[in-house]
Amino acid sequence: MTAVHTLDARGLLCPLPVIRIQDRVKDLTDGAILEITATDPGVMQDIPAWCRVHGHRVLDCEERADDILVRIEVVRE
């Protein structure tokens, strides 16, 4: 069963959501899912770009009524 972890980045502006993600991912194992909730629209570009650089996978990027939900899969080489 895949572990699902959450990160609340609501109210944080760039670059803080990505910094929080980077800190959180350090503690996660290969295949773990991190669900990030944010309000800064910049995360729609920033998180996928960060994942490309660091080798993680973006599973979903969804704008909702009051926030944005991004799900990433941690990939360890």
- pLDDT (tens digit, 9 = 90+) per residue, 41-63? 999 999 999 999 999 999 999 99
What's the rounded Cα separation, in Å, for the pair 54 and 68? Answer: 21
User: Does 51 qualify as catalytic in the annotation?
Assistant: no
The CATH class of the 4-73 domain is: alpha beta
Question: In the prediction, which pLDDT does 48 show?
Answer: 98
Whether the CB-CB separation of 2 and 33 falls below 8 Å is answered with yes
Question: In the prediction, which pLDDT does 30 show?
Answer: 96
Please state the pTM of the whole predicted model.
0.94
Pick the catalytic residue from 5, 10, 12, 14.
Answer: 14
What is the torsion angle, in degrees rounded to the nearest 10, for the CA atoms of residue 62, residue 8, residue 20 and residue 71?
-30
Question: In the prediction, which pLDDT does 77 show?
Answer: 79
Given a cut of 70, the residues of the chain with pLDDT beneath it are 1
